[in-house]
Amino acid sequence: MKNLLFVTLLLLSARFGSAQTAEIRGHVVSDTKTPVIGATIRVKGTTRGSISDANGDFTLRANDRDTLQVSAIGYQPAEIAVVLGIRNIITLIDKQQDLNEVVVVGFGEQKKLALTGAISSVGTKELTQSPVANLSNALAGRLPGLTTLQTSGEPGYDGSQLWIRGMATFTGNQSPLILVDGVERAFGSIDANEVATVSILKDAASTAVYGVRGANGVVLVTTRRGTEGRSSITATVQQGVQMPTRLPKYLDSYDALTLYRTALNNDGKNSAMYTDEYLNKFRDRSKPSYEYLYPNVNWLDEMLRPSATMMQANINVSGGTSSVRHFVSLSYLRQNGLYNFADQIKDYDIQARSNRYNFRSNIDLDINKYLMMELNLGSIIRDNNFPPISAGDIFGALQSMQPWLYPMTNPDGSISGLDSKATNPYGRMTQGGYQRNFENTLQATSGFTLQLPFVTQGLSVRGRLSFDSYGYRNVRRIKNLWTYQYSLADENETDLSKGTYRRIWEGTNTLSYDVTANSNRRTWLELYANYSRIFAQKHAVTGMLLYNQQSYFDQVGTGDAIGGLPFKYNGFVGRGTYAYNDTYFAEVNFGYNGSENFPAGRRYDLFPSMSAAWIMSNEAFMKELSFVSLFKWRGSVGTVGNDKIGQRRFLYQSTWTLATDGYRFGRDYNGVNYGGAAEDMLGATNVTWEKALKYNLGMDLGFFNDALTFTGDAFYERRNNILAQPGTVPATLGITSLPYLNLGEVQNKGFELEAQLRKRFRNINYFIKGNVSYAQNKILQMDEPSYQDRPYIKRTGRSINEQYSMIAVGLFQSQEDIDASPDQSQYGRIIPGDIKFKDMNGDNVINELDRAYNGKLTVPTTMAGFAFGVNTGNLDVSVLFQGAFGGNVWLTGNAVWPFDGDVGVMADVKDNYWTPENPNAKYPRLTSSNNVNNNQISTYWMTSRNYVRLKNVEIGYSLPKTLLSKIGVKTARLFVNGINLITWDKLKIFDPEIPNDSRNYPQQKVFNGGLTIGL
């Protein structure tokens, strides 16, 4: 028995004696392969432990028989056995996926659970569901707080305008700061497959670190990076068909001239030539000459194809080892335009066409256990082709051209024309040459991160240097048209060769060669010190101190010395956070930076913010409410700046101009007088940036283990130092050019709401989510005169975007109505059916003194999105509805006003114009030429652009893996999707996002299909 006990003890001692203790390295990731920051790693049964850093890495001492216990906020705890000699990879499973999400913030990342600011994000999956050529068009309806407006669908130039939480300045730049991987860059041309997330930073807590540049909000685009594991290859090919969401319709020659006859009669003019017999010839094609003598051309139908194609392809490779991780992506996009007849022109290409080539490579290298390197390279090459004239000129001509004026071509194929009339659109597009534009963007970033655990646990330093370069070379080759007027003595003649031709324009037969080229470049430097540590398992502390600077040389023309000076910024950024027991959170941020655009001594300022959050659901008194998984309050206050204040650079300097008159300062050697000099623009020596004081109160709720979530934010902003020209300085002082001063002040407030339901029913996963955001601003101060007699022209107290016009109060219904109303004779002879205006100043006369701010805006104040989706294993469906409300659009100009010069008539006018029998008509009475009264810019021509769109639908089918394994393919998914599929709105005639003049390349709806393969 003693011998047996001795042998047992000997074996046990040998077993434990063989355990080796060493420093091990590990990496903590989520189930989506994202590094888990701040995870606690402990050796089971001991007090030894560590915390994962910003890359999810950790080191500690353990032996090969130990077990590691790993925990992190929002994840299920995990235990793994230690393995010596390799990097221990620990995967944590999300306990609450939304809260565990790592959100990109200014100069770093934070868990969503710990956020105290207002940030919204969208990921790769949602972005790639929309078949768009410009990435900005995939954001509408997906991010609460973001207002979008897409006014064009032209290939290569179809990006959306963006505002974050509306507008808060009436002189300065209103656009958000856009950063790609932390560097100021445009993002519209980036391929969606390259992007990990797009985040918008909305309040002072999230934007104060950008100091003088963060007042309008910030858009952060983060590209994808490699993760440890076997390299995976993903290839996507897709083909789409584009067509206009809506094109206006115009009357044919017969209907338009019939209305013209009515208009002549209304004006008391001779309409004798417009007999029924004459008008019928514009529809009658029984005789060959009628096509040329009595034209009937639908210019939009003739010059535009019903659809155009769009093709996209992407291949990306992602993966890596414990020391090297990579993501590499190559993309190609070809977007064709709608112009007709491009295939009939042999000498050159007139089609609008955009070819884009994207390359991105993000490499992460662990040089040793302390030192890491990143190397990011990106390139975007664009090769665009266009007709010789702009899209605005083309669509303006196609919309306004009369169908009866002349045919597209004469019988011999020459371009038709008439004296003193608009040029033939067919000739301008097809016979005038072409444009070819080349663009090249290069982006490079390199950085190093050094962990300093030997100094203190959680300390690291980082440095990044970026260089970006953009260049373009535009070639324009044009020639003049030959145009001819065709005549035929006998319209009954069938031999059209007997007609005669009179030259209208003398053209040229050779193409010119004009080249413009320019470039810009930007350098960006950042130096960080970061600290992250947890004490006593309850006190989490982080800190960051950063120095950054940038220099930007813009493209500049000859002789522009001011434009040739670089734009420069530098300063310091700081952040400190504290969290207690995952329940109480506090954060302080600051940006101390400045710009060379302001006078010495006033170029720098401090922009601080404070924020806090309380997860009330972690309190003991909330534990009984088991259905509440999250109840979190957030609040922030801080100041942020905007240095793009408008007007010229260096406003603090006065400018001078050489006077053409006045005293002569002698003569040169040719006897020519030297002119004097005169003061031009007075300098504003105290000029400074706009400064915004922002408040935000937010709430995050989760119910039933976060199956149902809700986020709400209310915000208030007060921005001062907005540039305004003094309006209270009397002219008697003799100052002819008053400087712009920081006199303006604006209030902006609103709210954002977002809710989401995620559930699983048997083998069906489904979600429903929606968001709505509202922002409304008001000008509080801009140094205006009192306007006591005309308060309706005072901007103070009104919205920034409020429009200025005559105020229409309907149509005159009778002569008695005209006689009883204020006198409008300054705008010509007024008869029943003309527009009636409001007498704003009460002097019983309608004139320019009655123009007023009308209370209507052109940019929406409310944005909304509603989405739902279903996944049943192999089949997935997602749908997005998007809406915009509170905006209006001007329907003015000769593309809308009937017979405003030599123009056609919209089909909507027919049966909708005023007559005594149709007193409630949509349009005023018809007139045969420009009607000065009716064609005033007035509220009569302003229409709501409120709309709801079926913005995006995608249906996908993943092929069974049992089938794919036989051919060596890991995944394969077939999909069809579309964008801008159906629109519900009041406008009906045009797309509701048209620009005010309606002369735009129409926005496109896209039907698309493709295949994604994973290897």
**Mean pLDDT, the chain, whole residue set:** 90
Q: Is residue 296 domain-resident?
A: no
Q: What does the pLDDT read at residue 96?
A: 47
Query: How many residues can be counted in the chain?
Result: 1015
Q: Given a cut of 60, is residue 11 above it in pLDDT?
A: no
Q: What does the pLDDT read at residue 736?
A: 67
- The helix (H) or strand (E) run that includes residue 579 is strand 567-580
Q: Given a cut of 60, is residue 6 above it in pLDDT?
A: no
pLDDT in tens, 72-97: 765 667 888 888 777 788 887 665 45
As a whole number of angstroms, the distance between CA 646 and CA 654 comes to 16
Q: What does the pLDDT read at residue 740?
A: 87
Share of the chain above pLDDT 70, in %: 95
Identity of residue 269? K
In angstroms and rounded to an integer, the radius of gyration of the C-alpha atoms of the chain is 34
DSSP state, residue 428: H
Name residue, tokens 């993501």: 327
Q: Given a cut of 70, is residue 385 above it in pLDDT?
A: yes
Q: What does the pLDDT read at residue 102?
A: 72
**Could you tell me where the beta strands, DSSP code E, fall in 479-565?**
483-487, 500-505, 514-535, 539-553
As a whole number of angstroms, the distance between CA 928 and CA 659 comes to 48
Name residue, tokens 């049992």: 962
Q: Are 337 and 361 in contact (CB under 8 A)?
A: no
Q: Given a cut of 90, is residue 29 above it in pLDDT?
A: no
Q: Is residue 258 domain-resident?
A: no
Q: Is residue 46 domain-resident?
A: yes
671 burial (CB, 10 Å; 0-12 / 13-18 / 19+) is exposed
- In the predicted model, what is the mean pLDDT of residues 571-581? 94
pLDDT in tens, 940-960: 999 999 999 999 999 999 998
Give 802's contacts (C-beta < 8 A, 6+ positions apart): 795, 853, 854, 855, 856, 857
Q: What does the pLDDT read at residue 13?
A: 42
Q: Given a cut of 70, is residue 8 above it in pLDDT?
A: no
Reduced to 3 states (helix: H, G, I; strand: E, B; else coil), residue 928 is: coil
Q: What does the pLDDT read at residue 75?
A: 66
Q: Per-residue DSSP letters for 852-912?
A: EEEEEESS-SEEEEEEEEEE-SSEEEEEEEEEEES-EEE--STTTSTTSSS---BGGGTT-
- Token code pair at residue 517: 């080229």
- In the predicted model, what is the mean pLDDT of residues 658-665? 64
- In the predicted model, what is the mean pLDDT of residues 754-763? 88
Give 806's contacts (C-beta < 8 A, 6+ positions apart): 837, 838, 846, 850, 851, 852, 936, 937, 938, 939
Q: 227-231, 416-420, 801-805: which range is least confident on average?
A: 227-231
As a whole number of angstroms, the distance between CA 909 and CA 155 comes to 31
Q: Is residue 72 domain-resident?
A: yes
* pLDDT tier for residue 902 given thresholds of 50, 70 and 90: confident
Name residue, tokens 């390197």: 373
Q: What does the pLDDT read at residue 660?
A: 58
- The helix (H) or strand (E) run that includes residue 697 is strand 690-703
Q: Is residue 944 domain-resident?
A: no
- In the predicted model, what is the mean pLDDT of residues 921-943? 95
As a whole number of angstroms, the distance between CA 212 and CA 199 comes to 20
Q: Are 410 and 488 in contact (CB under 8 A)?
A: no
DSSP state, residue 266: H
pLDDT in tens, 527-559: 999 999 999 888 999 999 999 999 999 988 777
* pLDDT tier for residue 20 given thresholds of 50, 70 and 90: low
Residue 253 half-sphere exposure, CB side, CA atoms within 13 Å? 25
pLDDT in tens, 105-119: 888 888 888 899 999
- In the predicted model, what is the mean pLDDT of residues 274-300? 94
Q: Given a cut of 60, is residue 19 above it in pLDDT?
A: no
What sections of 267-415 are H helices per DSSP? Answer: 276-280, 290-293, 299-303, 391-400
- The helix (H) or strand (E) run that includes residue 245 is none
Reduced to 3 states (helix: H, G, I; strand: E, B; else coil), residue 966 is: helix
**Residue 761 or residue 848, greater confidence:** 848
Domain that holds residue 37: 22-94
Q: What does the pLDDT read at residue 4?
A: 40
Q: Is residue 86 domain-resident?
A: yes
Give 343's contacts (C-beta < 8 A, 6+ positions apart): none
pLDDT in tens, 762-819: 778 899 999 999 999 999 999 998 898 999 999 999 999 999 999 999 999 999 999 9
Q: Per-residue DSSP letters for 718-756?
A: EEEEEEE--SSS-GGG--SSPPPEEEEEEEEEEEEEEEE
Q: What does the pLDDT read at residue 679?
A: 73
| Alpha-carbon distances of 726 from 101, 599, 647, 731, 918, rounded to whole Å | 49, 20, 14, 11, 50
- Number of domains comprising the chain: 1
Q: Are 147 and 166 in contact (CB under 8 A)?
A: yes
Q: 392-406, 718-732, 920-934: which range is least confident on average?
A: 718-732
Q: Given a cut of 60, is residue 3 above it in pLDDT?
A: no
pLDDT in tens, 877-891: 999 999 999 999 999
- Token code pair at residue 741: 């001063």
* pLDDT tier for residue 7 given thresholds of 50, 70 and 90: very low
- In the predicted model, what is the mean pLDDT of residues 644-669? 77
For residue 31, what is the domain's CATH number? 2.60.40.1120
Q: What does the pLDDT read at residue 73?
A: 63
Handedness of CA 419, 424, 428, 432 (dihedral sign): negative
Q: What does the pLDDT read at residue 31?
A: 66
Q: Is residue 59 domain-resident?
A: yes
Q: Is residue 66 domain-resident?
A: yes
**Residue 668 or residue 360, greater confidence:** 360
As a whole number of angstroms, the distance between CA 299 and CA 339 comes to 11
pLDDT in tens, 497-517: 999 999 999 999 999 999 999
Give 753's contacts (C-beta < 8 A, 6+ positions apart): 144, 710, 711, 712, 771, 772, 773
Q: What does the pLDDT read at residue 647?
A: 82
13 burial (CB, 10 Å; 0-12 / 13-18 / 19+) is exposed
- In the predicted model, what is the mean pLDDT of residues 175-198? 94
Q: What does the pLDDT read at residue 663?
A: 63
